[in-house]
Structure 1
Amino acid sequence: MSNINTMLESTSANQHLFVDLNENDAEIVSGGLETFTIYNETGLRIPYTVDGTLTGRPYGDSEWTTGQGGIIKFDYDFGLEGVQLRTYNLADGRKYAFRYDTGTLYDKDIELFDIT
């Protein structure tokens, strides 16, 4: 009889886990909207896409709200012909900034930094 009581207690505890989800958690679990801000601190024109949508402000700052995952794509090296694509999955509620990447040999390489 002890094993049955243990199983019932465990099942009851697991049900409480799902009942305790609030609306915000439920939105995240169901793939809800994500909002984030991208700043351009380089002064360069940086065309980029978020979930396939091209930015309307390649020189300035943009706030994005998306329900499609928050995937950003951009060309990080303007010194080479063609597109040198870099892709990141942005997180809800975060702030990011395009800045020069001082960790490379070419002084015009850019990187997207999480600044939150």
Structure 2
Amino acid sequence: MAMIDIKNPENVSTAAVVSLGLIGGWLTARETGIRPLGGAVLAAAGGWAARSWLAKTDPLTTAGLTALYVGAFGASHPLAKKIGSWPAVLGVTAVAGGAACVLSDLK
């Protein structure tokens, strides 16, 4: 039986992973009605991105990007009450994904 070929962490586009985690996690929770399932998507993507951030950058940058990712998730909730769910999720995703691109993916 062949082993699973996992992509090298230096070759992962973390901006895409962050986007998948934030948008996919929210959409999963919304469409299934199971919030912990959305949280599992969010956590899995965050772990995958952090693995790559650590390989591409340094622990401080990894901690900062991880904090931004979790903070974006948290900020989307009160922001959604002001501007709506889709705009809030897309807005925080743009910020977190952009930061991941600039601080990690373009290096």
Structure 1 length normalisation: TM-score? 0.25
Q: Which is greater in Rg?
A: 1
Instruction: For CA contacts below 8 A with separation 6 or more, give which structure has more relative contact order.
Output: 2
More strand by share: 1
More helix by share: 2
